[in-house]
Amino acid sequence: MASLLCPSSTARPGAALFGVQTATGQIEYLDEPVIIDQTFVDKARQGRAPEERFRFASNCAKSGCGHWDSGQAGCSLVGKIVDAMNRKADDTLVACAIRTNCRWYHQEGARACASCDEVVRNVRTQETLALAG
């Protein structure tokens, strides 16, 4: 099996763009992921952080990520999102270009997908928390 993908990655060359935030704040998924390059990253960094407007996926870093739970051998972030949003999974999931290799889907199934369309990274919050720490 291919490496599982983190659906909450950052904009960096080689990442897969798989969703775009709409004017209503929801994520609209692309039919196929687009592998981004440095030119895309440079353009996307003009204005609001790209992670706040787009969804990117890249290989799950496992223990190299602060969200990795070694005891559970999985991502702790998706569990927090699923619990906080408390959404019921629909019988029919929206099309998603990365689902077959998505770490969140492999851990939480359709419940992860039910919450995924509202998830964007808030880079400023992360930077503020890092400075306060």
Q: Distance of CA 17 to CAs 14, 23, 64, Å?
A: 9, 18, 21
Per the structure, how many domains does the chain have?
A: 1
What domain range is 32 assigned to?
Answer: 5-132
Instruction: Show the CA angle centred on residue 100, arms to residues 126 and 20, nearest 5°.
Output: 45
Predicted confidence at residue 117, as pLDDT, reads 78
pLDDT band for 130, please (50, 70, 90 cuts): very low
Digit-coded pLDDT (tens) for 39-63 = 999 999 998 899 999 999 999 999 9
